Amino acid sequence: MIKFAKNRLIDTHQRPINYLRISITDRCNLRCLYCNPEAKARKLEHREILRYEELLRIIRIGVSMGITKVRVTGGEPLVRKGCCDFLKQIAKIEGIEDLALTTNGVLLKDHIDRIADAGVKRLNISMDTLDPEKYARITGSDVFERVWDGILSAHQKGISPIKINMVVLAGINDEELIDFAKLSLDYPFHFRFIEYMPIGRSIDLNTPPILLPAIKSRIEAIGELIPLQKNIHDGPAARFRFRDSRGEIGFISPVSRHFCAACNRLRVTADGHILSCLLSNITEDIKTPIRAGFLDEALREVFFNATRRKPLQRPVQISPLSQTEQMISIGG
């Protein structure tokens, strides 16, 4: 039974829900192999995308029910006009303790002043290789230097933590694991290594994924990894650091070691559905009642229903995502 005690959502497995991920667009300026390789894939029409005022209303209702952390994602959120103003409006909502942005970094340098001024506390940036030519192969665009400049600009603005995410792709970038990890010795960033999990329109690598034990074993060739304690707003990454390093190492293992037991999040898709689990097609439509003029109390029921249907663990078999629930419109 769902509990509504002290304005907090607690699911049927007694997990408190305090984290909301908001996808504001299914558009992206990259075509990454594991996310959006099809350049001609159907895009949502403008009328299908939630408006900013609708998103702000959803966030406020979530905060009234115990949401304290909000992450804005895409697609690539910075391609949507008005994203920085939207971030600033979110930061003004009383009760939000942590505001984060996930980006591929292509437009980061152009917007970093406004992002920082908006009150964004955390950045997650996708960068799967240190090789500019390989970057172009993985993403479909030759913009590696622009992304790295954006990361350095964010650091200069004082945003922390800056998390750099590497999806480990067998036979494509796995030989760079040590090079990536060594960057943590000199840069105060969080370098996170993520197991590749095929989902949606991703490519088939035709080779078994490289899982956490092998990833960690390779990186430990540099030196001892010292475990770090998680903070209240940390995600599923297991955190470590090398002795005397400026940065951190993180491991995310959606394939080999599920973190469902500690899942505290709901996702709002770009087209207005609340998704209880990344790997499930079960959603709750919140756009229709909003546009039908329903009161906040009715929208709280949508949150309750989404929380009630949150599974204890991921499905044994991953169902193919529907067209409007591809990774690019969920935000990971």
Domains in the chain with CATH codes: 3-330 (3.20.20.70)
Quickly state the pLDDT bin for 109 (edges 50, 70, 90).
very high
What is the C-alpha separation between 214 and 310, in angstroms, rounded? 31
Of 315 and 301, the structure prediction assigns the larger pLDDT to 301
pTM given for the model: 0.91
Q: What percent of the chain has pLDDT over 70?
A: 88
CB atoms within 10 A of CB 16: 15
Mind spelling out the 3-state secondary structure of the chain? CCEEECCEEECCCCCEECEEEEECCCCCCCCCCCCCCCCCCCCCCHHHCCCHHHHHHHHHHHHHCCCCEEEEECCCHHHCCCHHHHHHHHHCCCCCCEEEEEECCCCHHHHHHHHHHHCCCEEEEECCCCCHHHHHHHHCCCCHHHHHHHHHHHHHCCCCCEEEEEEECCCCCHHHHHHHHHHHHHCCCEEEEEECCCCCCCCCCCCCCCCHHHHHHHHCCCCCEEECCCCCCCCCCEEEEECCCCCEEEEECCCCCCCHHHCCEEEECCCCEEECCCCCCCEEECHHHHHCCCCHHHHHHHHHHHHHCCCCCCCCCCCCCCHHHCHHHHCC
Of 131 and 198, the structure prediction assigns the larger pLDDT to 131
The pLDDT value given to residue 201: 56
Q: Is the pLDDT of residue 149 over 50?
A: yes
Q: How does strand 16-17 pair with strand 8-10?
A: antiparallel
Q: Is the pLDDT of residue 320 over 50?
A: no
Q: Is the pLDDT of residue 328 over 80?
A: no
Q: Which of 143, 65, 137 is CA-nearest to residue 110?
A: 143
Quickly state the pLDDT bin for 324 (edges 50, 70, 90).
very low
What is the average pLDDT value for the chain, to the nearest integer?
A: 90
213-253 confidence digits (pLDDT tens) = 999 999 999 999 999 998 877 788 999 999 999 999 999 99
The pLDDT value given to residue 232: 76
The pLDDT value given to residue 3: 44
In terms of C-beta density within 10 A (0-12 exposed, 13-18 middle, 19 or more buried), how is residue 157 classed?
middle
Q: Is the pLDDT of residue 199 over 70?
A: no
64-76 confidence digits (pLDDT tens) = 999 999 999 999 9
What is the C-alpha separation between 272 and 82, in angstroms, rounded? 18
Q: What is the mean pLDDT of residues 273-277?
A: 94
